[in-house]
Amino acid sequence: MQKKLSIWAVLLLSVLVLPFVSDAFDHSQAVKGPFKSGEDVTRACLQCHDKQAEDVMKTPHWKWKGVPRTIKGMENSKEEYGKANMLNNFCISIQGGEKCANEEFCSKCHPSYGWVDNTFNFNDKTKIDCLICHAREGNYRKGIAGEPDRKLIEMGKMSLTKAAQSVRLPNRDNCGVCHFYGGGGDAVKHGDLDSTMAKPTRDHDVHMGGTIDMSCQGCHVTKDHRIAGASTFLATNDGRVGCEDCHRDPHKDSSANKTLSKHARTVACQTCHIPTFARGQATKMSWDWSELGKDIEPEEQFGKETYAKHKGRFVWEMNVVPTYSWYNGKVERYMKGDTITTPGAIVYISKPVGDVKDKTAKIFPFKVHSGKQPMDSVNKYLLIPQTHKGVWEHFNWEKGLVDGAKGSGLPYSGKHQFVQTAFFGSINHEVAPKEQALKCKDCHMEGKRLDWKALGYKGDPMRVGGRGF
């Protein structure tokens, strides 16, 4: 009798609790509206989800920074770093302009409302945008300063009430609204994430395409709104994600299991199973800011513009063979204010750490994005311009750099030049079906896929031997 009672207790608990912790609960029964603002929606959410709001505000997704545990030598830093205070060679930085005016534009891809400048209150729970990650309907879209797009609301094309009533666990569209468009546009920043990944075919990505149809959090496991995943784009992480998390012994049924398992100690899964990236559409491979402000009729590559007056010149590529490098999970990172000792050489803003002698390193694939961006000719560090309501509008580099220094905290000497930069971006998505994985001949003997000497070998390890451990 006691056993039967306990079973019924479990069933009753499931009925009472499951709707509140699963994706099945219909919020239209609890959320009525109408709502005039994003903050009004969040106030409704907070009635039941105050703890979740507290959790969100502790995450790098909210702070855009964290302990730089991914950066070599900075793992024990007391300062936090991330998009909030580092540079890249895409849009450069959010800090340019008085009170960091760039932030008003960049916060379109931040889960907040009303982030206009560095006076934004990160401790105000009502400023959290729950809908950007959880709304499934209502045509929810964000605009400047992360506010709901008022024009769409006024035109009757977006409904805050319908969006609030449709909330569920995030799907690929929710994640993709920011991550597909990183760097200022579709397929700009990431070589393996763009809008075509919302509904990919199996040939495009075996995990998210076809019948498997995995969500992002299928790999990027989430707890208390902390999302696992590390990248060479980032300074911090809330846990790492690896192919081995699911594929414990991936080659056990292969006749070449012994050889492949030995390779797996040196070669990352992604190296063989992502033979090319940008397979759905072209990705931006180069961004030359020095060309900004010219009246040029742009040509196109793969249907994408190669020049924009407010941004400069671009190069796009599709079906790109990755650049291969050793990677042990750490990166060397150019940090704001670092002195550039050899201005004529390429400045690596992010570069993987590891070499052939490093037992913890494997050969990984990367997208290397090249840039040409401003450096202070006297102080010898990369500069942060005011782009939003700055050079994007007046096309004047001197004014843009003077105004940019007001937010960046980096004094501008009044003289600048443009230097070549490079950014190694991790390639982890667009995993091809196994029958399309690289074969022995792609890398060994007559194969030209890998530059063995550049990787630290005396030659093809099939001829001269491997690492020896």
CB-count exposure of residue 291 (10 Å: 0-12, 13-18, 19+)? middle
| pLDDT band per the 50, 70, 90 thresholds, residue 51 | very high
R_g of the chain, CA atoms, integer Å: 24
Buried/exposed code over 49-75 (b: 16+ C-beta within 10 A; e: otherwise): beebbeebbebbbbbbbbbbbbbbebe
pLDDT of residue 432: 97
pLDDT of residue 469: 82
pLDDT of residue 446: 86
Cross-strand partners of 407: none
Distance from the first to the final alpha carbon of the chain:
60
**Which residue's entry shows tokens 């009525």?**
32
C-alpha to C-alpha distance for 363 and 302, rounded to whole angstroms: 30
pLDDT of residue 235: 96
* Residue 198, number of CB atoms within 10 A of its CB: 15
pLDDT of residue 25: 87
| Beta carbons of 365 and 317 less than 8 angstroms apart | no
| pLDDT band per the 50, 70, 90 thresholds, residue 22 | low
Average pLDDT, the chain: 93
pLDDT at 20 over 80: no
pLDDT at 404 over 90: yes
Residue 213 tokens read as: 């149809």
Could you give the percent of the chain with pLDDT greater than 90? 90
Dihedral, 191, 196, 197, 200 alpha carbons, nearest 10? -130
Residue 215 tokens read as: 């969500």
Helix (H, G, I), strand (E, B) or coil at 161: helix
Helix (H, G, I), strand (E, B) or coil at 426: strand
| Beta carbons of 207 and 219 less than 8 angstroms apart | yes
Q: What is the mean pLDDT of residues 366-380?
A: 98
- φ/ψ of residue 327, rounded to 5: -150, 125
pLDDT of residue 276: 98
Q: Compute CA distances 145 → 103, 132, 245, whole Å.
A: 8, 13, 38
pLDDT for 325-363, tens place per residue? 999 999 999 999 999 999 899 999 999 999 999 999 999
Q: What is the mean pLDDT of residues 431-458?
A: 95
Q: What is the mean pLDDT of residues 250-276?
A: 94
pLDDT at 15 over 80: no
C-alpha to C-alpha distance for 186 and 295, rounded to whole angstroms: 24
Helix (H, G, I), strand (E, B) or coil at 126: helix
pLDDT at 2 over 70: no
pLDDT of residue 8: 38
| Beta carbons of 164 and 133 less than 8 angstroms apart | no
Q: What is the pTM of this model?
A: 0.93
* Residue 182, number of CB atoms within 10 A of its CB: 21
Q: What is the mean pLDDT of residues 5-10?
A: 38
pLDDT at 127 over 70: yes
